[in-house]
Structure 1
Amino acid sequence: MIEMTDVSKTYANGVNALNNIDVLIEKGEFVYIVGPSGAGKSTFIKMIYREEKPSDGRIMINGHDLTTLKEKHVPYLRRNIGVVFQDFKLLPKMTVFENVAFALEVIEEPRSEIKKRVMEVLDIVKLKNKARFFPDELSGGEQQRVSIARAIVNRPQVVIADEPTGNLDPDTSWEIMDVLEEINKRGTTILMATHNRSIVNTIKKRVIAIESGRIVRDELRGDYGYER
């Protein structure tokens, strides 16, 4: 489903973020991306939704070559990739419903379909009763659940979660993991960049460790492998 072949990334300032990455992620997998700060994790996941382009190598997603994908086709690629950020990125003047609906409005889904799908995903993240609330009326965990609902409302094949528990307390972090696991059980591929040692060591999934721009470990049901 996601395949990187000999992928490298060097930024304009000369920093080598990734070096000769080879990896295959199958449909329906749940994969943790771990490693020290500055190791290349963010670059790795940004290339999957074409926020960044590789300097060398090839990236394939569902048979589409991202390295030759024209810019005008990038929005269509992103309809199949949901992204969950550490800092939520919700629109403060929109309600929970409106924040999630916005992802469908930009692709001009019919209004009747928007309402149905938004309420479906709010039910999945257990926020149906807060559809009319604004972000500043929610806890951090609830805001992250809205972010997840927005990421999955297009029914993407892949969800990329970039440090989704980074700003949350431990109890709330486990709640977010319950939601991500539920989404994964429904068939969505999950890639989660994280520094949360406890979560990785408790909820066993595939672990890809990146250090100095290289994959140094790729283990099924792996451990975090770092002290912090």
Structure 2
Amino acid sequence: MIEMKDVWKTYPNGVMAVNGLTVYIQKGEFVYVVGPSGAGKSTFIKMMYREERPTRGDILINSQNLRLMKERHVPYLRRDIGVVFQDFKLLPSMTVFENVAFAMEVIEAGRDDIRKRVMNVLDIVRLKNKARFMPHELSGGEQQRVAIARAIVNSPAVLIADEPTGNLDPDTSWEIMHILEEINERGTTVVMATHNRSIVNNMRKRVIAIEGGRISRDEVRGAYGYES
């Protein structure tokens, strides 16, 4: 599903963010990516959806080599990868429905398909009754649920979540995690970068810890392993 083989990433300023990283994530796994600030987690995550390209080494997602991929093919890759960010990235002038539908309009889906699928994913994230609301009318947790709906509306094989609970209170964070767990149970591979010690320690999924650009731990039912 996701495979990294001896991956290195050095930025133009000389900073080495990832240092000989090798890892394999199977289809249907739920994986936490943890580690101290500046350890290389963000680069690790960004390389999965080709926001960053490795300096050397290979990254394969569904047998597609992201390092060798031409720029014109990247949008097609991202149709199969949903991404959720800490700061939601919703379009403020669009309704909840329109924000989610936009992801399907980009791939030129039919109007009937869009309406059916958007309402279906809004039901999954418990926001079907707020389809016509504007983002500013929603709580932070509701906005993040809209972002999740947008990320999964095209039925991606992989969902990447970069600190999705970072701006949320504990109760709301757990609501988001239960939704992500449900999405995972439906067959989507979930990779989540997080600093949330409580969530990682309580949910006991696979934990990949990155320190100094290398994998320091890879545990099937791991713990956070760092001070809050």
The alignment status of 1:177 with 2:180, answered yes or no, reads: no
Report the alpha carbon displacement of residue 174 of structure 1 after superposing the two structures with TM. 0.2
Taking the aligned partners of 1:17 and 1:67, their CA distance within structure 2 comes to: 16
Post-superposition Cα deviations, 1:108-132, rounded to whole Å, max 9, x if no partner, equal: 1000100000000000000000000
Taking the aligned partners of 2:172 and 2:59, their CA distance within structure 1 comes to: 34
What residue in structure 2 maps to residue 30 of structure 1? Answer: 30
Structure 1: 5+ residue stretches without partners: none
Taking the aligned partners of 1:86 and 1:66, their CA distance within structure 2 comes to: 24
Taking the aligned partners of 2:172 and 2:69, their CA distance within structure 1 comes to: 38
What residue in structure 2 maps to residue 16 of structure 1? Answer: 16
Taking the aligned partners of 2:153 and 2:58, their CA distance within structure 1 comes to: 29
Taking the aligned partners of 1:70 and 1:93, their CA distance within structure 2 comes to: 33
What residue in structure 1 maps to residue 104 of structure 2? Answer: 104
| TM-score computed with the length of structure 1 as normaliser | 1.00
| Code of the aligned partner of 1:209 | A
Taking the aligned partners of 1:70 and 1:15, their CA distance within structure 2 comes to: 25
Matches within 5 A, 1:127-166: 127-166=127-166
What residue in structure 2 maps to residue 77 of structure 1? Answer: 77
Taking the aligned partners of 1:120 and 1:86, their CA distance within structure 2 comes to: 23
Q: Percent identity?
A: 77
Matches within 5 A, 1:181-220: 181-220=181-220
Structure 2: 5+ residue stretches without partners: none
Post-superposition Cα deviations, 1:63-98, rounded to whole Å, max 9, x if no partner, equal: 111111111000000000000000000000100000
Taking the aligned partners of 1:189 and 1:132, their CA distance within structure 2 comes to: 30
Equivalent pairs counted in the alignment come to 228
Q: Please state whether the residue corresponding to 1:154 is helix, strand or coil.
A: coil
Q: Please state whether the residue corresponding to 1:51 is helix, strand or coil.
A: coil
| Code of the aligned partner of 1:151 | A
Taking the aligned partners of 1:31 and 1:166, their CA distance within structure 2 comes to: 17
Taking the aligned partners of 1:8 and 1:195, their CA distance within structure 2 comes to: 23
Q: Please state whether the residue corresponding to 2:91 is helix, strand or coil.
A: coil
| Code of the aligned partner of 1:19 | N
Taking the aligned partners of 2:25 and 2:125, their CA distance within structure 1 comes to: 25
CA RMSD, 1 decimal? 0.4
| TM-score computed with the length of structure 2 as normaliser | 1.00
What residue in structure 2 maps to residue 65 of structure 1? Answer: 65
